[in-house]
A = this chain, B = another copy of it.
Amino acid sequence: MKRLIVIIMATTLSTTLSAQQLSAEESDPKTTKYMQGYPPPADKRINARDGSFFEFPALRYSVCHMREFMPTVGVERLNRTPTHCFEYCLDPNIDNLTFTPTGTTDTLTFAESLPLNYTDGILILHRGKIIYERYFGELTSERVHAVMSVTKSLTGTLASVLAVEGVIDTAQTVAYYIPELAESGFGDATVRQVMDMTTAIKYSEDYTDPEAEVWKFSAAGNAMIEHPEGTPQGYYDYLPQIVKDGEHGNVFGYRTVNSDVLGWIIARASGKTVAELMQEVFWGQMGMELDGYYQVDALGIPFAGGGFNAGLRDLARFGEMIRLGGTWRGVQIIPEEAVKDITEGGSAEPFARSTYAKGLPGWSYRDMWWKSNNKDGAFMARGVHGQAIYIDPAAEMVLIRLASSDKASNTLLDPMSLPAYQAVADYLKGKREI
């Protein structure tokens, strides 16, 4: 198995497995013991102020404890509907399904792949029933996990709903909704261009470049950092500084700031933050099991680009509702057109022109969802370090993966995850109904 990883890393992922690389077991919080003890010893203390809580392997602990490191706002399940109970129809064949990681000729089983990509939780629904559910590392069925950029797809879904309801006009400019952004690079972009991330702005999200704008944005939104007078106190203080770079609408450019501009538009147009809407529309009326929450900045603004945390099963409920065109337990939770815009709307051209086309050929991006445009019509929400809501309509499958991989970029994680998801989908498509 180790040989295989080395091959994948060395040939496909252009990196090597160093001797220091910790396995899933070695990096398990039960082993590393970050933040354990009363108080934790000095070498086991991590925090959000200096970013140490987000470094692997500390990250494997933090993903289930984000609220303990920063201010948050609840997305509560309330008690307005009874807790929904899933039907279980566990399928013992899933573990043994095999697949070939992209760029290799080797074979992995589904079960073997889970520790290799530091899976914390994975749940597969087939026709709404749980056929597979596993918890590793710090995650349990009674804990939430950071979903990172999966949050963007939730923001995009809310925007799609508000667009269908006429609360947001996607043809309007950003400046129309947010006058503070009129002079910024976003000012003359349409809401639609923001939703599909085709805005042309000078903004690098290259985490390896210390001068990249993403660091300034992250710092502005980090409530744990003291912001001197005259510097941005939160996300919305920083966004107006972003300048234009080219023409909007032509090329897909994956930049988190689009999601926060969209979150801002949602708040101004609806009078509610994404956190309030997530509670009102989904968590408060779907019989969720655990309260979710959003990381907030120093101004109390939820991080629409990456700050949501939720339980594995609740994310499955959300995904299944999307698969069913916005219905849940026979009730239309959101308009079907809002989901259709995600699955059928948009164009693949801006994506094809982007740097992402190489790793994800044929894919496109709509309403902050990633669309494979494959034969199954699969589409997904994706977050760094391996978070995914993967919906395969042809296989009637919803797969949720929560993880704390040593690698952030999904480009590095896709070779082992996408073929695995497809293997399960292909198996389910051939599964005989009993």
Residue positions of A touching B, CB distance < 8 A:
35, 38-40, 45, 47, 49, 65, 67-74, 76, 78-79, 83, 142, 223-224, 226, 233-234, 236-237, 264, 267-268, 273, 289-291, 293, 296, 298-301
Contact = CB atoms under 8 A, between A and B. Distances in A.
Given A38-B236, A298-B47, A299-B40, A69 B68 contact: no
Given A67-B71, A68-B73, 14 more contacts: A35-B299, A38-B267, A38-B268, A39-B234, A39-B300, A40-B300, A45-B299, A65-B73, A69-B71, A76-B290, A78-B142, A79-B83, A79-B289, A291-B291
Given A67-B67, A67-B71, A35 B76 contact: no
Chain copies in the assembled complex: 2
A272 to B, nearest CB: 9
Closest 9 CB pairs of A and B: A38-B267, A39-B299, A39-B236, A35-B300, A68-B73, A68-B300, A291-B291, A68-B71, A79-B83
B71 A264 contact: no
B301 A38 contact: yes
A73 B38 CA distance: 15
Nearest to A302: B68
Nearest to A78: B142
A78 to B, nearest CB: 6
Contacts of A234: 39
B67 A73 contact: yes
Contacts of A65: 73, 300
Which among A45, A71, A264, A290 has the greatest number of chain B C-beta atoms within 10 A? A71
A94 to B, nearest CB: 26
Contact of A76 (B49, B68, B291): B291
Contacts of A299: 35, 39-40, 45
B74 A39 contact: no
A39 B47 CA distance: 26
Contact of A142 (B73, B76, B264, B290): B76
Contacts of A76: 142, 290-291
A247 B31 CA distance: 44
A128 B40 CA distance: 42
A68 B72 contact: yes
Contacts of A74: 67, 291
Contacts of A83: 79
A299 B79 CA distance: 33
A369 to B, nearest CB: 24
22 contacts: A38-B268, A38-B301, A39-B234, A39-B300, A39-B301, A40-B299, A40-B300, A45-B233, A45-B299, A47-B298, A65-B300, A67-B71, A68-B296, A71-B71, A72-B72, A74-B291, A76-B142, A76-B290, A76-B291, A78-B142, A224-B224, A291-B291
